[in-house]
Each structure stands twice: as structure tokens, then as C-alpha cells.
Amino acid sequence: MIDLYADVTPNGLRAAVILEEAGLEYRPHRIDTQRGDQHTPSFRRLNAAEAIPVIVDANGPSGQPITITQSGAIILYAARKVGRFIPADPGRHACAMQWFMQVATDITSASSWIFNHATAMPEKSAANAAWMETRLIKAFSLADSWLAEHEYFADELSVADFLLYPNFAFRRPMLEKAGLCSHLQRWGAMMAARQGVERGMNVFSAHVGGVGSSPAVTS
């Protein structure tokens, strides 16, 4: 059994999506980051960085419990645990890792910066916010251009797709308003139609009313 500690954010929902898609048995625990649950002593024992998501796998390597933080690391761990979603072909594997890292370093960081600027930073700057939004749209546009000639990022469903989808779902209104990324929209609809993705995106629906269609933008 795996215990998942997460919230309704792209980072948190990534972990739920991969656990669902991998078919791994897990228990979700809502960590309300707006309320500050991540700063409690009990959560800090799981992750001293005070950030979600966290998983605790009672049956980790060699049958020993293991605690893993960081959404990307959780996706890779779950995929390797079940032997799926990491392409065996060297070329496709390299492509999956390239896009996995690009999402982690470019799209995720830009999206999180926009959220933190709007909600947490002590000083606001409209110019800086517009600059970062432009940066995020450019990163999404690069993904869109790639998907014009590829069904998935590695030509097969992979960890890269699962890493990106929650960020795409949360930022879809921005892309639609800009009239951009038709290929990414096609890919997003295909991902949303997957039962595992839908269940993962709505893992905390009993708490928040569901986030499968147009979730509120958060970190």
C-alpha cells in the first residue's frame, strides 16, 4: 500500500495520476496547502522541505518502506515499479526524458512563479507577471509544435505526458484565451479521456467538488 500526501495542485495531482495509471493501490491524504498543513510537525517528518506531494510506499525496494518527495521523482518511481511508461527503445527513451526535463524546468517553474506572484510574493509587478506569462506560453508552444507530428511526446504514452498534463489542465484557459496550441489541445483531450487520468485529477473531488474540467489555477 502507498500513502499519497498531496493537494489539488499540478504537482500534487501528477502523483495521483501516475498512481492511478500504474494501477498501484494507494490511500490519498489531502494536505491543504492554503491552510498550511504542509508546515505541521507531522508533515515535516515526511518532507522537511514542507512541500507536496509525498508518497510512502510500505513495499519499497527489497520490501522495505520508502518515502519519496518531488512529483517528477514519484512519477519515475511508480513507472519503474510497474515497468510501464518508460520507453524501452533508446530513441524514444531519450525523447521522453528530454520532454520530462523540459516540463520540469520550464513549464512547471514558470507556472508556479505566476501563481506565487499572484498569491504570495510581497511585491507585485504587472510587467514581470506579463513577462513570465509570455515565457510560459512560449514553452507550451514548443510542446505544441512537437505534438503537430507526434501523438505523444515519445511517440508512445510515457512519463513525459503524465508530468505535463496537470499543468496543461490548469493553464488551459490561458492557452484558449491566446488562441494557441491546437495540437496540445488535441493531446490534452486524449489524455483527459483516460480513466486513470480522470480519477487522478479528481482524487480529492469529495473535498473540492472536482477539478476535471476547469480547475482553479494554483501552484
Profile the chain (219 residues) by mean pLDDT over runs of 10 residues.
96 97 97 93 96 97 96 98 98 98 85 58 70 82 95 98 96 85 94 97 66 33
Collapsed DSSP state (helix, strand, coil) of residue 166:
helix
- What is the average pLDDT value for the chain, to the nearest integer? 88
Which residue carries 515519445 as its cell? 154
Same domain, 164 and 100: yes
User: What confidence score (pLDDT) does residue 59 get?
Assistant: 96
Same domain, 106 and 181: yes
Q: Please, which residues have CB within 8 angstroms of residue 59's CB and are 6 or more apart in sequence?
A: 1, 65
Give the CATH number, domain containing residue 175.
1.20.1050.10
User: What confidence score (pLDDT) does residue 106 get?
Assistant: 86
Same domain, 109 and 190: yes
User: What confidence score (pLDDT) does residue 120 get?
Assistant: 60
In whole angstroms, give the CA distance from residue 201 to residue 129: 27
Query: What's the domain range around 110?
Result: 90-195
Q: Note whether residue 219 is domain-resident.
A: no
Same domain, 66 and 106: no
Q: Write the DSSP assignment of 7-52 as a string of letters.
A: -SSHHHHHHHHHHHHHT--EEEEE--TTTTGGGSHHHHTT-TT--S
**How many domains are contained in the chain?**
2
Query: pTM of the entire structure?
Result: 0.88
Name beta bridge partners: 72: none
Cα–Cα nearest to 99, from 152, 175, 138: 152
Sign of the Cα pseudo-torsion (176, 151, 70, 3, in order): positive
Q: Please, which residues have CB within 8 angstroms of residue 20's CB and are 6 or more apart in sequence?
A: 195, 196, 197, 199, 200, 203
Contact (CB, 8 A) for 169 and 214: no
pLDDT, tens digit, for every residue of 66-112? 999 999 999 999 999 999 999 999 999 999 999 999 999 988 776 66
End-to-end Cα separation, the chain, in angstroms: 27
User: What confidence score (pLDDT) does residue 81 get?
Assistant: 98
Same domain, 8 and 72: yes
